Amino acid sequence: MFRSRLAALACSVAALGLLVTGCGNSDGGGSAAGKDTGKVTFWSFVKGSDKVAAAFNRTHPGIKVSFESMPSGQEYYSKLTNAVRAGTVPDVAVVEYPQLPQFATQGMLESLPGSLGSLVRTDFPASVQRLVQLGGSTWGVPRDAAPLMLYYRKDFFADHKISVPTTWDQYRDMTQQVKKADPKARGGVFYTDDPSLFTGLAWQAGARWFGTDKDAWKVSLDDAASRKVADFWGDLARKDLVSSLSSLDPFWTSVQQSRTVAYVCASWCAGSQQATVADQAGKWSVAPVPTWDGKPASAMYGGSSFVIPKGAGNSAAAAEFIKWITTDPQGMKAWVSGGTSSMFPADPKLVPVTKAAFPTTYFGGQDVYAVAGASYDAVKPGWTWGPDMGTTNTAIVDQLPKVAEGKANLFDVLKGAQQDTAKDIRHRGMKLTP
């Protein structure tokens, strides 16, 4: 099931390879010349990265990994882009799947050496491989998948006799009940600085924002499924049934202050939750994400790979570090044993390792990996990432504060993003269907 679901995620990179040429050499050439020893600089915003670097250093005396914590989102990708241009890149960096095609086609990444290319081909399902392969080269090693889940305060729900929603209609009812029970509390969040969750919810509803027709791109941000999701969440935000917040500190502060008692996130939020709001241990549970018809359906909210940026100073040692943190069981344990990461590995053989290592006390002994696994099995097939998600995301996120204030319609924002994206595809010399 893992392989069949990931096939849907791989479409973007496979299709993009048909449209972009000159991306680099095939695996085997690589750029990782030199000895796999020395210092490695590691940039990441992923929870647990510091623990992983420390664990690697304890077991690999010939390589010294220096970890640098990074901001997440567009701020990080701008920083990485500027570092490539300035020649001040780290040796290892994290890049999420939606952004990988853009970085690869713009020449910002090293084509991974034969050892890592072979690793991707042997250790990951074919569908996962295509998420990081482009133009005959491998550009990153997959780390995790990120299926959607619903997080909720079970004590609040029990005290106020609120049922856990299984459909989006029930979810709306739940947000009304939460606000009535506590006028300061909300049963969801509308993020004003990041469209990624909304994208995942559109995907879950059956949207198909991008596709290919022979050698041309298709763009459809304004399809019927997207409109349904946009109207639903825009209405929740306008009626103040969910909180309109930034995805970083303001959100977690709202959780800490019991102003957010339910929210939709991915599997990785389990670790973030217990690391950030430790004093609410035992009060939270996870459930499948609500669906439109009550039948299981899910999507991805995130997912990342590790890359060697163009111009890295020690790519040979970087390759050894990447291999350990993505495929070694000890590396997997290092990600989750500290409790700050609840990654769902892209290599299906490693899911039992992370499940066994992840603490269960915070969620009252609940098996959060079982919920994540079921959600992953329900991921909707057919989704494709676009050739420049930076343009698409910017066009949306610039208008989200206005949507939250009731000054803009979310579906109109999607239509504007459709126009901006189509213009960008043509500007980059790619074909676009009429």
Domain residue ranges of the chain, discontinuous segments joined by +: 2-145+302-346, 148-299+382-427
Given pLDDT bands bounded at 50, 70 and 90, which one contains residue 1?
Answer: low
Query: For residue 146, which of 372, 398, 390 has the smallest C-alpha distance?
Result: 372
pLDDT reported for residue 211? 83
Q: Quick check: 11 pLDDT over 60?
A: no
Q: Quick check: 201 pLDDT over 60?
A: yes
Q: Quick check: 128 pLDDT over 90?
A: no
Of 28-42, 176-190, 218-232, 286-300, the poorest mean pLDDT is in 28-42
Q: Quick check: 64 pLDDT over 80?
A: yes
Of 59-63, 210-214, 228-232, 351-355, the poorest mean pLDDT is in 210-214
In CATH terms, are 2-145+302-346 and 148-299+382-427 the same topology?
Answer: yes
pTM: 0.84
Mean pLDDT of the region 39-65: 95
To the nearest 10°, the Cα dihedral for 289, 294, 296, 302? -30
Specify the amino acid at residue 368: V
Q: How many whole angstroms separate alpha carbon 232 and alpha carbon 94?
A: 33
Reading the block at residue 49, the tokens are 């990265």
Backbone angles phi, psi at 197, to 5 degrees: -65, -45
Mean pLDDT of the region 314-332: 94
To the nearest 10°, the Cα dihedral for 261, 265, 270, 273? -50
Residue in the block written with tokens 């044993």: 337
Reading the block at residue 320, the tokens are 């050894």
pLDDT reported for residue 19? 38
Q: What is the largest CA-CA distance in the chain?
A: 64
> What's the pLDDT tens digit per position in 350-390?
999 999 888 889 999 999 999 999 998 898 887 878 888 88
pLDDT reported for residue 12? 44
Query: For residue 16, which of 418, 396, 389 has the smallest C-alpha distance?
Result: 389
Specify the amino acid at residue 55: A
Of 19-23, 56-60, 151-155, the poorest mean pLDDT is in 19-23
Q: What's the burial of 259, exposed, middle or buried (CB within 10 Å: 0-12/13-18/19+)?
A: middle
1 vs 114, higher pLDDT: 114
Of 64-73, 111-120, 146-155, 295-304, the poorest mean pLDDT is in 111-120
Q: How many CA atoms lie within 13 A of 350 on its CB side?
A: 27
DSSP 8-class letter at 180: H
Q: What is the CA radius of gyration of the chain?
A: 21
pLDDT reported for residue 365? 94
- What is the second-level CATH architecture of the domain 148-299+382-427? 3-Layer(aba) Sandwich (3.40)
What is the CATH code for 2-145+302-346?
Answer: 3.40.190.10
Q: Quick check: 17 pLDDT over 60?
A: no
Given pLDDT bands bounded at 50, 70 and 90, which one contains residue 34?
Answer: low
Q: What's the burial of 214, exposed, middle or buried (CB within 10 Å: 0-12/13-18/19+)?
A: exposed
Residues recorded for the chain: 434
Of 100-109, 245-254, 337-346, 358-367, the poorest mean pLDDT is in 337-346
Of 5-9, 192-196, 297-301, 391-395, the poorest mean pLDDT is in 5-9
Q: How many whole angstroms separate alpha carbon 241 and alpha carbon 173?
A: 10
Query: For residue 90, which of 40, 54, 142, 138 has the smallest C-alpha distance?
Result: 40
Query: For residue 336, which of 196, 153, 150, 144 has the smallest C-alpha distance?
Result: 144
pLDDT reported for residue 105? 78
Of 176-180, 237-241, 267-271, the poorest mean pLDDT is in 267-271
